[in-house]
Structures are given as structure tokens and as C-alpha cells.
């Protein structure tokens, strides 16, 4: 802990009933590059969970601040985030292993997300119902309004401990809900820092609880709280299924697993495609649900394209995330890095060719590109969540689309082509929540709807869309 920046607290507490409180049980957060202890965090008790949710329920019943006030809080939070930028950068680099470039992007995007939520807070409206379409009902006037569900539980991942948190907390509060936040136990310091910021920005203390702890234990306690009306979760498909089963008739939004694919056609701008694919595959050490894992390249350009891709990957220095030159930092743990190393070795033993990278030093894995990965290899059939890219040539676009679709997941895909017919064909037939044209699978603007199909989950993030997920629609009819 002595090597941590001064702005990083040596301990973190839970936010319960408007106060930061300790608990008897604690756990340690590690620096993801050095693997040394960074901070000690209090794990929420069962009673603290009960108290927190009870407070949130009472606040929801009493009602939220007016929309304009909620918008003002969110705008103030965005301004404070810019003022406290350095502190957030330090924490993101230390506890998440982000490079400085990735940390800066995370903070910048988080400020955008807050401002988008502020904008939507004051224009959450319903629709007019055209009763004139029904014979004899033309004199009726009807419209819908949206009301907060009440208490929203946000369960968030380690790979985006600031912006993904705000994609859940921001829309929930903007829509008038009280929020129980359970951040990843691997990256709780960012959420704690954010909690202080939100309270300083004016968020009512009875509208926010932050509860730290293990997902299996704390997550189960949160699912037992019937006062929670909505669960928004980003994480594995396995955990998502468990949450969905336990939630019952309560509403959920699930952003789950993924094996993202990108297709490079013969007509593509190869230089553009190589640079964007390399960045998308290896940024955040490949720990992004939309990271390019399967890359389909037309057979006629493979020999020309591969050197471009390898060169682009070679420019991405792997190592110490505090070094401004580093572009690929550590994975979330040495165990995760060892798994990536094992999966690469497994693929090679089955006939794959490792063209570059793959070497592991502690928690850091150099960006790896492989070809001839057999269909049965884990690297092809399971989400790697590591800086690993598997390339497969294709002869026809239909074959590439079929290969990309041959996965239980369907979050995001990309295609590079200068042929409009190829682009439209891919858009129609790729079964993914997002299809990027002349972009990799891993490109996101915070205003856009974001979510998947199949085992990648359901529901949408993006402030406008998430707020409609987190509200109830009520129909009002004035009869003559």
C-alpha cells in the first residue's frame, strides 16, 4: 500500500443509510500490475444490506427530487469528475490495470454519460395514443407517462469500473429511482470514489447505497431483497442466468458474455481495418466484451493483410500501465493471464500457428495473433477476455457470416468493405445486437443503444434507452 498514489485511500467502506461504514469482514484489493496490496475494503454484512435496501425503498416511496434537480446533480457530477480527473486516473491505473490512455478514455466517456443522463432526466416522456383509429373512440384523449420502478440494483464488472457503473447508476437516478450499487470486488475503489463524488454533487444520500463484497454471497443477499424492483447486470452468462432465475417477475437488464467477430472483405481499406482491429482486439488487454476475438479475412487478401495486422499489434507496447508508452496493460489477475497463456498453448498444440505475441510476464500478456485455430479449441469456442485474436480466412461472405453466427453469443460484430451490397447483406444476416459497418466490433458511443441477443443477454444500455427499461409506463385516458 505504501507505493500507492496518495489520492488512493488505504481502505474503503460501504455507503449505508447515508453513512460510510465499516464491517467485521474485509478483503484486499491488489494493484493489478505489481500484484501488491493496494487497499483493504469492508465487505457488507447481511444486516447492512437489509438496512440499505430498506432506506432506498423508503426514499423511493417518498419520491425523488424533481427532474430538473436530478439533472442539476448529474451535471454537477460531470463537472466534479473533470476536476477530480487525476484522482480517478490514479485509481483506474492501480486497481483496474488500465493504461493511462484507457484510463483517460474511461474518465472522459464517464463525463459524457453523466451529461447525457442529465439531458434525458428532463425529457422522459410518453406517447400520445391515436384513439381515432378505433371506431367510436375518436373523442377520447390518451397518453402514456413513465414512472420510476423504485429501487434499482446495479451489479457491475471490473473491466469498466467507472463508465459502466454510470451507465447504470446515471439512468436509474435520472429516471427517479433509488440505487443499490454492487461494484466488482476486484475494482471497488473506483466505485467508492464515485460515490463520494455523487454525494458531493448533491445526490440525496438516501437514494444511493454502495455495497462491497463477493458476488456469490452479496449478490444472493441482494436477490433476496424483494423491495428491489429492477436488476441491471453486466457480467458472465452463467451469473446472468442465476440472477434471472432468482429475480422471477421482477424486471432485469442483462449484458452478458460475448465472442465478438469482425469481417474484413476483399474490398476493405486494409490499413484502416488493420489499425482498428488491432486496437479493438488489444485495448484494455482484450478485456472488453466486444473485443475482436474472431477475425474473418477474405482469402484473397490474407497474405497482404496479415503483415499490416502484425505490424499494428507490434506497435502496442505491453507492460507497466503507469508508463505513458504502454498500450496493453495487465489482465485483471495473474490467474487470468495464466489462463490466456494456457489457451494459446492449447490452440498451438492442436495445430494453430502463433504469429506474434502470447508471452506472459506476471499479469501481462503480449498481444497475440493466431491462425489455423481449430474449431474445438477453447480460444475459438469460449470468450477469452484477453489480448488474443484468432484469424480465419474465408472464401464467401456467406461463410464468414455463418461462422460469426455459429456462437451462442450475439453482442457485437463488425465488417470492413467498400461494397455497399456486402455491407447491407451483413447487416441483415449477422445476428448481433450491434453491427458496425467499416468499423470493428468494439466501437461504442455512449449515446447509442447497447445490448445483445442470444446468450449475450437482453435489454439496452445508453441513457435514453436504459431509462425506459428502468421505468413503468402508465396509460392515462380522458373519456368524453
**Residues forming the active site:** 255, 289
Residue 199 grid coordinates? 454525494
Distance separating the N- and C-terminal Cα atoms of the chain: 71
What would the 3-class secondary structure string for 274-290 be? HHHHHHHHHHHHHCCCC
Asked if residue 273 lies in contact with residue 426, where contact means CB atoms within 8 angstroms, the answer is no
Q: How many CB atoms lie within 10 A of CB 143?
A: 14
Residue 421 grid coordinates? 451490397
Residue 216 grid coordinates? 456469490
d(CA 167, CA 284): 18
Asked if residue 430 lies in contact with residue 413, where contact means CB atoms within 8 angstroms, the answer is yes
Q: How many CB atoms lie within 10 A of CB 141?
A: 12
Using the 8-state DSSP alphabet, how is residue 35 labeled? -
For cell 484486499, the residue is 28
Q: How many CB atoms lie within 10 A of CB 150?
A: 19
Residue 147 grid coordinates? 414512472
Give the burial class of 421: count Cβ atoms within 10 A of its Cβ; 0-12 exposed, 13-18 middle, 19 or more buried. Answer: exposed
400 - beta bridge partners?
none
Asked if residue 100 lies in contact with residue 322, where contact means CB atoms within 8 angstroms, the answer is yes
Give the burial class of 203: count Cβ atoms within 10 A of its Cβ; 0-12 exposed, 13-18 middle, 19 or more buried. Answer: buried
Taking every pair of Cα atoms in the chain, the longest distance, rounded to a whole number of angstroms, is: 77
Asked if residue 327 lies in contact with residue 101, where contact means CB atoms within 8 angstroms, the answer is yes
Amino acid at each position: 500500500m505504501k507505493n500507492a498514489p496518495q489520492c488512493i485511500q488505504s481502505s474503503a467502506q460501504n455507503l449505508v443509510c447515508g453513512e460510510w461504514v465499516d464491517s467485521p469482514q474485509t478483503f484486499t484489493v491488489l494493484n493489478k500490475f505489481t500484484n501488491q496490496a493496494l487497499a483493504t475494503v469492508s465487505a457488507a454484512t447481511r444486516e447492512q444490506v437489509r438496512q440499505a435496501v430498506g432506506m432506498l425503498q423508503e426514499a423511493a416511496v417518498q419520491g425523488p427530487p424533481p427532474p430538473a434537480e436530478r439533472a442539476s446533480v448529474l451535471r454537477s457530477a460531470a463537472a466534479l469528475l473533470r476536476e477530480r480527473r487525476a484522482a480517478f486516473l490514479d485509481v483506474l491505473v492501480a486497481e483496474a490495470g488500465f493504461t493511462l490512455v484507457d484510463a483517460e478514455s474511461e474518465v472522459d466517456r464517464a463525463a459524457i454519460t453523466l451529461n447525457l443522463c442529465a439531458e434525458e432526466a428532463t425529457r422522459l416522456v410518453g406517447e400520445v395514443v391515436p384513439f381515432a383509429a378505433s371506431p367510436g373512440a375518436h373523442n377520447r384523449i390518451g397518453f402514456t407517462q413513465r414512472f420510476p420502478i423504485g429501487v434499482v440494483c446495479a451489479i457491475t464488472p471490473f473491466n469498466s469500473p467507472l463508465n459502466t457503473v454510470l451507465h447504470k447508476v446515471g439512468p436509474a437516478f435520472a429516471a427517479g429511482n433509488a440505487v443499490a450499487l454492487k461494484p466488482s470486488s476486484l475494482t471497488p475503489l473506483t466505485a467508492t470514489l464515485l460515490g463520494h463524488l455523487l454525494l458531493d454533487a448533491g445526490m440525496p444520500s438516501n437514494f444511493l447505497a454502495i455495497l462491497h463484497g463477493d458476488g456469490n454471497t452479496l449478490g444472493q443477499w441482494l436477490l433476496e431483497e424483494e423491495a428491489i424492483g429492477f436488476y441491471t447486470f453486466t457480467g458472465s452468462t452463467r451469473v446472468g442466468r442465476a440472477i434471472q432465475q432468482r429475480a422471477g417477475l421482477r424486471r432485469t437488464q442483462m449484458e452478458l458474455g460475448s465472442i465478438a467477430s469482425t469481417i474484413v472483405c476483399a474490398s476493405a481499406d486494409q490499413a484502416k481495418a488493420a489499425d482498428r482491429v488491432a486496437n479493438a482486439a488489444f485495448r484494455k488487454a482484450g478485456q472488453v466484451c466486444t473485443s475482436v476475438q474472431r477475425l474473418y479475412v477474405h482469402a484473397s487478401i490474407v497474405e497482404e493483410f496479415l503483415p499490416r495486422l502484425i505490424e499494428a499489434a507490434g506497435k502496442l507496447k505491453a507492460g507497466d500501465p503507469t508508463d505513458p508508452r504502454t498500450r496493453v496493460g495487465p489482465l485483471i489477475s495473474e490467474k487470468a493471464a495464466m489462463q490466456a497463456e494456457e489457451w494459446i498453448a492449447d490452440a498451438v498444440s492442436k495445430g494453430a500457428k502463433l504469429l506474434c505475441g502470447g508471452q506472459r510476464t506476471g499479469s501481462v500478456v503480449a498481444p497475440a495473433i493466431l491462425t489455423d485455430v481449430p474449431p474445438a479449441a477453447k480460444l475459438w469456442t469460449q470468450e477469452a477476455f484477453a489480448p488474443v485474436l484468432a484469424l480465419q480466412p474465408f472464401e464467401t461472405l456467406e461463410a464468414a457470416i455463418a461462422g460469426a453466427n455459429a456462437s451462442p453469443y450475439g453482442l457485437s460484430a463488425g465488417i470492413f468493405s467498400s461494397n455497399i451490397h456486402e455491407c447491407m447483406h451483413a447487416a441483415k444476416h449477422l445476428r448481433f445486437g450491434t453491427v458496425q459497418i467499416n468499423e470493428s466490433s468494439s466501437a461504442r458511443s455512449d449515446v447509442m443503444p447497447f445490448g445483445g441477443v442470444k446468450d449475450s443477454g437482453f435489454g439496452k444500455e445508453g441513457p435514453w434507452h436504459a431509462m425506459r427499461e428502468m421505468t413503468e409506463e402508465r396509460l392515462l385516458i380522458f373519456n368524453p
